[in-house]
Amino acid sequence: MGSAVTDDFTVNGGPALVDYDDALATYEPVLGLETHVELGTASKMFCSCATEFGAEPNTQVCPVCLALPGALPVVNGVAVESAIRLGLALNCSIASWCRFARKNYFYPDMPKNYQISQYDEPLCTDGHLDVVVDTPDGPQEFRVGIERVHMEEDTGKTSHVGGATGRIHGADYSIVDYNRAGIPLLEIVTKPIEHTGDLAPLVARAYVTELRDLVRSLGISDVRMEEGSLRCDVNVSLMPRGADEWGTRSETKNVNSLRSVERAVRYEIQRHAGVLDIGGQVVQETRHFQENSGSTVSGRSKEEAQDYRYFPDPDLVPVAPDAEWIERLRADLPELPAAKRRRVKTEWNLSDEELRDLVNADAIDLVAATVDAGASPDDARKWWLNELSRRATESEVELADLPITPAQIARVVALVDEGTLTNKLARQVVDGVLAGEGEPDEVVAARGLQVVSDDSALGAAVDQAIADNPDAAEKVRGGKVAAAGALVGAVMKATRGQADAGRARELILDRLGATS
């Protein structure tokens, strides 16, 4: 372990943050992203313990993941399969033979004192992922090189109790939960990402977003950044424009949201520029992103690979996927996000902007499922992007986490199409479904929301409206058809918006001997 490094900023004459545009005028950023994906396997990487999120601390543990003496790990086949599928989706080569390695270091959340990982023999190497960034000049595509995808196991989770920040400094004591220790992880490491210029923060964000969507489409992880099943380490360095040697990188650890990825890159560019502008040297170290301030603070100086004393794990047999299996997995890959975007753009006849809005709202799959359940693409898109996006924002949940399904939205659309609901009533039905009142039809029945269009029910309301508004009625009788609007309004009010307005108008004109 390196020694602690104090923060870089000193009060007098030390580096200061440089304005973002000024920094980019002088320097060219290089990025590297290391992303950890926690797999959704039922059991851990090397034992049969359950992996459920949120269980009682230290209940999902056994001699293997607690590393009791003599325990022997066995590789989880589904995890290997998931790694190969992701490698294939990222256009990687899949090794026909590779091994696990022990990465030796001490940390209390890691019971073995080493982590089983892969080092010089990763399962997947040399791929790429294309990402699209919105610029004022239109969408711009970047190809991000993938260095490797390797398998490893997660550590336990330490909580520092009593301090103000949840960090170890100032804490009274620390507790550790080993439920997470041994959960399978994939680490996806990019090649250095160059030539992004001032778009670097957006490219970083677009890459993590695209990777998240790709992993989700494979169904191998729920990739929830807020629950830590997708975490990102952000490497940034700067070199003078035109130089061909990369600068020293910093590595900001465990960045936990898409927005934070973007902010962390931005901040590090500004910070590095401050150090370099006064002739200083960027320290190669890990840093932590501070959600509140959007800044990073120094963690520890970076270990070199040699510090970990990697060696092949003697307890595990090599992983040697045969070519036939790999080809079967390749053939069985689902439609990947980029292909899906191209398809729906054509099938739903979307403009670039409409597609972008769907992508930004993370709504393509929801809309597609709603269309599959019978709604038109336009209706489905409007519901998810307008009404439901607003509800999601209000209740601070992801769109997909709203307690309403695409099938239910499709049913609401059908009820509007067949005339049972107006748009206004439909929104009340959605309210009811979101409030847990059941299926759309149950909400319609329970709340009595269907449009009133049968003449006997409407007729009474029409007669009442005419009686209550003699002036308007007189005008209509005298040929001023426009005055019927007030009467229709009265009917709508009396029926709390449930009347079929068109039919109400017909009845009013009929009763008053006028024609429209």
DSSP secondary-structure letter at 478? T
The residue assigned the tokens 């940034």 is 236
- Name the residue among 49, 48, 69, 70 with its Cα closest to residue 58: 49
Block residue for tokens 């036939």: 324
What three-state secondary structure class fits 193? Answer: strand
- What are the strands of the beta sheet with 295-301, ordered from one edge? 93-94, 124-135, 138-153, 184-190, 27-38, 230-240, 250-255, 285-290, 295-301
Query: Which does residue 264 bind out of ligand ADP, Zn ion, Mg ion, none, counting CB within 5 to 8 angstroms by kind?
Result: none
CB closer to Zn ion out of 112 and 205: 112
Quick check: 235 binds ligand ADP (CB under 6 A)? yes
Q: Is 192 in the site for ligand ADP (CB under 6 A)?
A: yes
| 28 or 313: CB nearest ligand ADP | 28
State the nearest-atom distance from the C-beta of 257 to Mg ion, in Å: 19
Q: What's the burial of 355, exposed, middle or buried (CB within 10 Å: 0-12/13-18/19+)? A: middle
Give, as ranges, the residues between 11 and 30 that touch ligand ADP (CB under 6 A): 30
Contact between 249 and ligand ADP per CB under 6 A:
yes
Q: How far is the CB of 446 from Mg ion (least distance, A)?
A: 55
Q: Which does 179 bind (CB under 5 to 8 A by kind): Zn ion, ligand ADP, Mg ion, none?
A: none
Examine residue 126 and tell whether it contacts ligand ADP (CB under 6 A): no
- Cα 450 off chain centre by: 37
Binding partner of residue 237 among ligand ADP, Zn ion, Mg ion, none, CB cut-off 5 to 8 Å per kind? ligand ADP
Closer residue to Mg ion, CB minimum distance, 133 or 232 = 232
Cα–Cα distance measured from residue 132 to residue 142, given in angstroms and rounded to the nearest whole number: 6
- Choosing among ligand ADP, Zn ion, Mg ion, none, which partner's interface includes residue 65 (Cβ < 5 to 8 Å by kind)? Zn ion
Q: Would you count residue 194 as binding Mg ion (CB under 5 A)?
A: no
490-498 CB contacts, 8 Å cutoff, 24+ apart:
490/464, 490/465, 491/458, 491/461, 491/462, 491/465, 494/461, 494/464, 494/465, 495/452, 495/458, 495/461, 497/422, 497/424, 497/425, 498/422, 498/425, 498/448, 498/449, 498/450, 498/451, 498/452
Among ligand ADP, Mg ion, Zn ion, none, the one that 9 touches (CB under a kind-dependent 5 to 8 A) is none
Q: Which is nearer to ligand ADP, 41 or 252 (CB)?
A: 252
Give the shortest CB-193-to-ligand ADP separation in angstroms: 7
Asked if residue 47 binds Zn ion (CB under 5 A), the reply is yes
Q: Does 189 bind ligand ADP (CB under 6 A)?
A: yes
Stretch that binds Zn ion, among 55-63, 125-133, 143-151, 468-476 (CB under 5 A): 55-63
- Nearest alpha-carbon partner for 367 in 348, 381, 346: 381
Longest dimension (CA), the chain: 100
Rank residues 49 and 465 by Cβ distance to Zn ion and give the closer one: 49
Determine the Cα–Cα distance for residues 310 and 380; give it in Å rounded to an integer: 52
Burial 396-406 (b: 16+ CB within 10 A, else e): eeebeebebeb
Residue 340 binds to ligand ADP (criterion: CB under 6 A): no
Residues 27-66, mask of contacts with Mg ion (x by CB under 5 A): -------x--------------------------------
Alpha-helical segments (H) within 448-483:
455-468, 470-477
The interface region with ligand ADP, picked from 6-14, 37-45, 81-89, 184-192 by CB under 6 A, is 184-192
Q: Which of 329, 48, 298 is nearest to 167 (CA)?
A: 298
What residues line the site for Zn ion (CB under 5 A)?
A: 47, 49, 62, 64-65
Residues in the site for Mg ion, rule: CB under 5 A? 34
Binding site residues, ligand ADP, CB under 6 A: 30-34, 147, 189-192, 235-237, 246, 249, 251
